[in-house]
């Protein structure tokens, strides 16, 4: 893979990263809420959608959408965090790849599920 994995001109999608925060209610049940990561929560990235996949589970239709996102190198992202496309549309980060450890790019696989389960 070359040093020029992505060019600055390809970074056209605004992305905000959020991390989960677990909270317990009075009954002890945990729920997740999300808040922006501490450093540079909103950046520009290259967003490439995969073809969607429809699933039928228990007679409910779901559409899974996956995408590959490339941003400048980051060390503060992990699976389970959110990537908000154009700062509004939430996608779950399912994997983080630091692209051969060269500290230039980070490639994320993201997932969004539409419909009910």
Mean pLDDT, residues 56-75 = 79
User: End-to-end CA distance of the chain, in Å?
Assistant: 39
User: What band does 88 get if pLDDT is binned at 50, 70 and 90?
Assistant: confident
Three-class SS state of 9: helix
Indicate the pTM of the whole model: 0.79
Residue in the block written with tokens 């790019």: 105
Mean pLDDT, residues 65-89 = 93
pLDDT tens digits along 13-44:
999 999 998 888 888 888 888 999 999 999 99
Predicted local confidence at residue 1, as pLDDT: 39
List C-alpha distances in Å: 54 to 19, 24, 50, 64, 65: 27, 34, 13, 6, 9
Q: Which residues of 20-34 are buried (b: 16+ CB within 10 A; e: fewer)?
A: eeeeeeeeeeeeeee
Average pLDDT over the chain, rounded to an integer: 84
Predicted local confidence at residue 62, as pLDDT: 65
Structural domains of the chain, ranges and CATH numbers in brackets: 8-115 (2.40.10.270)
Strands 53-57 vs 30-36: parallel, antiparallel or unpaired: unpaired
């Amino acid at each position: 893979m070359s040093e020029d994995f992505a060019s600055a001109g390809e970074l056209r999608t605004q992305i905000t990263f959020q991390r989960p925060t677990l909270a317990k209610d009075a009954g002890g049940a945990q729920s997740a809420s999300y808040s922006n990561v501490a450093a540079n929560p909103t950046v520009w990235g290259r967003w490439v959608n995969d073809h969607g996949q429809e699933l039928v589970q228990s007679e409910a239709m779901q559409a899974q959408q996956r995408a590959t996102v490339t941003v400048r190198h980051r060390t503060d992202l992990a699976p389970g965090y959110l990537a908000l496309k154009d700062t509004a549309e939430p996608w779950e980060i399912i994997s983080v790849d630091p692209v051969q450890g060269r500290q230039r790019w980070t490639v994320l696989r993201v997932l969004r599920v539409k419909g009910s389960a």
